[in-house]
C-alpha cells in the first residue's frame, strides 16, 4: 500500500462492497496500524471534501466524529460482512459510512432514508461512566443482607448451615461445604444490580457462575444428597462441575410459575432470562443440556441456542455467534444485526438508566453491527450510535431516544 491514494482506493472499494479477500485483509491491517492513522484521517477528510453536496456545517460535524472515532477502540475481532445498504448512495452518507467502518461498526436504516439538514447534535447532559465496581448483595437464610463491596476481601462472610461463605482476594464469592451436608437445606440469593460489574460465585460443589448486571441467582448453601437445583433471573453463565449422582438444574420462574428448566450433568452454558426480554435464550458452549418448558423439551448440542417464547414455544436458532453471546462476560458490547430495543436494554442495564422512545420512531427500523468495550462511558457509546441516524436526549438518569 503506497501513500494516501492507495488508502483512498481501499476505502472506496470498501464502501462499494467489492473488496477482494486480499484487499479485505489489507483494510483490516490498516485499521490496526497505529503509524498510519494520520494518513487514514487525511484520506477520509479528502473523500468528504470532494462531496459537493456536503454543507460546511455537516463537514465540521463529521470531522469531529472522525476525530472521536479514530481515537477509539480498533479491537475488531472479525471482519465486517455487512452487505452495502442502498441508502449509502447518498454522497454525504458515504462519508459517514467510512467513519463508521473505521471503528468496526456498520449501522444503517432498514427502511427509506430521507436526507435532511440537521443542527449539530446536542451535547448530552449526562456522562455516565461505565461501572467501575461491583455492588452485589448476598441475601442469607433468614433475610440478612450483606453488601459485598463493603466487606473486606480475603475473609469469611458468614456460615450458612454446614457451608462457609468467603470473599476471595479479588472480590469473588466462594462456598465451602462437606460433600454430604448435614441439617436442613438453606438457600442464599446473590443479586447483581443494574449498573454493576459482572460478579462470579463458586458454589459448594465447585461449579462457577457469572452474573451480568441486573441479575440474581438463588441456590442452596450446601447441596442435598440427590440434586443440585438453582434458579436464575437475568443473565448468567455456568460452568458446572460433574456429579452424576446429583444432577444439576437451572430454573427460571415467570408470573409465579416455572417458565423453563435446564437439566445438565457437567457443561458450560449461558442463560439470558431477563423479565424485559421477549424470549428466554439458552446457549450451549460445551457438553449437553436438556431444556424443558410447559410445551416440550429439546436436547442441545454445543454451539446451539434454544429460544423460548412467553407461551412456551421453543425454537433452535439456525446460527449462533458465540462471541456475541459471551461478549458481556468478556467485557464487550457486541452486536450482529441487533435491533434498537435490544441494544438499548443492554445499555439501560449496564449504565443503570431508564430508556424511553419519543416522536415518530420505530426501533425496528434500525440494525447495528459492532464491537465496543463496556469500559467506555455512556456518552461515548451514544456518540457512536448517533452516527447511525438515531439521537438522544438526557433528563437526569432518563435517556430519551429520538429519530
Distance CA 120, CA 56 (A): 12
Q: Are residues 247 and 313 in the same domain?
A: yes
Cα dihedral: 253, 255, 256, 257 (round 10): -60
0.75 surpassed by pTM: no
- Give the residues across from 306 on adjacent strands: 282, 316
Contact 115, 90 (CB under 8 A): yes
pLDDT tens track, the chain, 403 positions: 456 678 878 776 765 556 777 787 787 777 767 677 677 777 766 665 544 333 333 444 444 444 444 444 444 333 323 222 222 222 333 333 334 444 433 332 222 223 333 333 345 546 788 998 889 999 999 999 999 999 989 889 999 998 999 999 988 899 999 877 677 889 999 999 999 999 999 999 999 999 999 999 999 999 988 899 999 999 999 999 999 889 999 999 887 788 899 999 779 999 999 999 999 999 999 999 999 876 678 899 999 999 998 888 889 987 899 999 999 999 999 887 888 889 999 999 999 999 999 887 776 677 787 788 899 999 888 887 887 778 899 888 999 998 7
Residue 292: inside a domain, yes or no?
A: yes
Residues 6+ apart with CB under 8 A from 390: 340, 366, 401, 402, 403
Residue where a domain stops, chosen among 269, 297, 324: 324
Residue 132: inside a domain, yes or no?
A: no
What Cα–Cα distance (Å) separates residue 276 from each residue in 209, 254, 304, 311, 331? 22, 11, 23, 15, 22
Q: Are residues 142 and 191 in the same domain?
A: yes
Q: Are residues 352 and 309 in the same domain?
A: no
Tell me the CATH number at 392: 3.55.50.30
- pLDDT for 3 equals 63
- pLDDT for 17 equals 56
Q: Are residues 9 and 72 in the same domain?
A: yes
- Give the residues across from 260 on adjacent strands: 252
Residue 116: inside a domain, yes or no?
A: no
Residue 307: inside a domain, yes or no?
A: yes
Q: Are residues 267 and 349 in the same domain?
A: no
Element (H, E) at 324: helix 322-325
Residues 355, 360, 361, 364: is their CA dihedral positive or negative? Answer: positive
Residue 117: inside a domain, yes or no?
A: no
Distance CA 229, CA 217 (A): 11
Residue 253 three-state SS: strand
Q: Are residues 254 and 211 in the same domain?
A: yes
| Cell numbers for 226 | 440427590
Residue 124: inside a domain, yes or no?
A: no
Angle at 310 between CA 305 and CA 315, to 5 degrees: 30
Q: Are residues 95 and 155 in the same domain?
A: no
Question: Which CB contacts under 8 angstroms, 24+ apart, belong to 203-209?
Answer: 203/175, 203/228, 203/230, 204/163, 204/175, 204/176, 204/177, 205/241, 205/243, 205/246, 206/241, 207/238, 207/239, 207/240, 207/241, 207/248, 208/238, 208/239, 209/236, 209/237, 209/238, 209/239
**Which residue from 178, 179, 133, 180 is spatially nearest to 159, judged by alpha carbons?**
178
* Total domain count, the chain: 3
Q: Are residues 150 and 291 in the same domain?
A: yes
Residue where a domain stops, chosen among 94, 109, 124: 109
**Which residue from 235, 238, 194, 236 is spatially nearest to 213, judged by alpha carbons?**
194
Residue whose entry in the numeric block shows the C-alpha cell 500500500: 1
- pLDDT for 363 equals 64
Q: Show the domain range for 93.
A: 3-109
Q: Are residues 156 and 266 in the same domain?
A: yes
Residue where a domain stops, chosen among 93, 109, 125: 109
Distance CA 196, CA 135 (A): 6
Q: Given its phi and psi angles, is residue 211 left (phi above 0), alpha (psi -120 to 50 degrees) or beta?
A: beta
Q: Roughly how many angstroms between the first and final C-alpha of the chain, as a whole number?
A: 40
- pLDDT for 14 equals 64
Q: Are residues 182 and 253 in the same domain?
A: yes
Contact 379, 124 (CB under 8 A): yes
Residue 256 three-state SS: coil
Q: Are residues 242 and 284 in the same domain?
A: yes
Amino acid at each position: 500500500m503506497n501513500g494516501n491514494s492507495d488508502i483512498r482506493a481501499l476505502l472506496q472499494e470498501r464502501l462499494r462492497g467489492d473488496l477482494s479477500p486480499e484487499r479485505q485483509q489489507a483494510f483490516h491491517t490498516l485499521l490496526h496500524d497505529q503509524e498510519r492513522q494520520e494518513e487514514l484521517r487525511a484520506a477520509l477528510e479528502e473523500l468528504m471534501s470532494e462531496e459537493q453536496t456536503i454543507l460546511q456545517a455537516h463537514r465540521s460535524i463529521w470531522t469531529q466524529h472522525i476525530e472521536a472515532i479514530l481515537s477509539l477502540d480498533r479491537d475488531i475481532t472479525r471482519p465486517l460482512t455487512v452487505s452495502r445498504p442502498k441508502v449509502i448512495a447518498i454522497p454525504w452518507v458515504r462519508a459517514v459510512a467510512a467513519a463508521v467502518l473505521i471503528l468496526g461498526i456498520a449501522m444503517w436504516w432498514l427502511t427509506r432514508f430521507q436526507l435532511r439538514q440537521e443542527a449539530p447534535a446536542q451535547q448530552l447532559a449526562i456522562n455516565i461512566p461505565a461501572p467501575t465496581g461491583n455492588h452485589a448483595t448476598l441475601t442469607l437464610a433468614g433475610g440478612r443482607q450483606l453488601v459485598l463491596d463493603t466487606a473486606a476481601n480475603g475473609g469469611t462472610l458468614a456460615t450458612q448451615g454446614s457451608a462457609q461463605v468467603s470473599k476471595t482476594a479479588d472480590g469473588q464469592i466462594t462456598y465451602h461445604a462437606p460433600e454430604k451436608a448435614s441439617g436442613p437445606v438453606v438457600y442464599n440469593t446473590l443479586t447483581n444490580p443494574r449498573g454493576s460489574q459482572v460478579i462470579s460465585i463458586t458454589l459448594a460443589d465447585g461449579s462457577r457462575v457469572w452474573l451480568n448486571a441486573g441479575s440474581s441467582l438463588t441456590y442452596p448453601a450446601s447441596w442435598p444428597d440427590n440434586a443440585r437445583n438453582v434458579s436464575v433471573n437475568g443473565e448468567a453463565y455456568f460452568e458446572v462441575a460433574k456429579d452424576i449422582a446429583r444432577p444439576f438444574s437451572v430454573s427460571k420462574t415467570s408470573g409465579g410459575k416455572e417458565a423453563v428448566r435446564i437439566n445438565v450433568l457437567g457443561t458450560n452454558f449461558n442463560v439470558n432470562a431477563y423479565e424485559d426480554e421477549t424470549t428466554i435464550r439458552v446457549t450451549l458452549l460445551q457438553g449437553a443440556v436438556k431444556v424443558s418448558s410447559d410445551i416440550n423439551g429439546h436436547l442441545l448440542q454445543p454451539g446451539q441456542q434454544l429460544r423460548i417464547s412467553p407461551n412456551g414455544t421453543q425454537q433452535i436458532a439456525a446460527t449462533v455467534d458465540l462471541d456475541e453471546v459471551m461478549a458481556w462476560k468478556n467485557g464487550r458490547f457486541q452486536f450482529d444485526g441487533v435491533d434498537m430495543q435490544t441494544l438499548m436494554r443492554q445499555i439501560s442495564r449496564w449504565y443503570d438508566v431508564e430508556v424511553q422512545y419519543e416522536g415518530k420512531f420505530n426501533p425496528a427500523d434500525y440494525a447495528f453491527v459492532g464491537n465496543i468495550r463496556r469500559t467506555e462511558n455512556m456518552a461515548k457509546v451514544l456518540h457512536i450510535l448517533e452516527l447511525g441516524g438515531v439521537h438522544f436526549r438526557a433528563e437526569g438518569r432518563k435517556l430519551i431516544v429520538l429519530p
